[in-house]
Amino acid sequence: MNVRDMPAADSLQLIDAIMEHCRLSFRSDVRLAVHPFVSRDALFIGLGSLADQSSRVTMRFRPEEFAPQLSGKPVRIIDIDSFEVIVPDANGNITVPLRAVEGKMLMVTPR
């Protein structure tokens, strides 16, 4: 089977399996396009959504899995759009507003 012919539900399972195999963990309460990249000592995570309505998205990820240089260090998560520091809740989840059909950029840096 060609991956382009794969049913959507199967492709989502395949993506989850690849992420797990690579030991990359990113969970959110809605499906997002996630684009992580590293520049200097910071991890940037681009989030994209084609949702019709704005919402607050809750997510959890381990920065050190995407940027090993952050391993063992306390980090600060900054919403690049608003320049606000995002503080994780007691479970390590963060919640950010995401407008309809828009994206958001988060920056994760050592404190």
**pTM of the model as a whole:** 0.79
Report domain extents, the chain. 28-110
- Give the pLDDT confidence score for residue 51 in this predicted structure: 84
Average pLDDT of the chain, as a whole number = 87
Burial of 106 (0-12, 13-18, 19+ CB in 10 A): buried
- Give the pLDDT confidence score for residue 40 in this predicted structure: 87
DSSP 108: E
- Give the pLDDT confidence score for residue 3 in this predicted structure: 66
The answer as to CATH 2.60.40.1180 being correct for domain 28-110 is yes
Mean pLDDT along residues 49-56: 87
Confidence label for 32 from pLDDT (cuts 50, 70 and 90) = confident
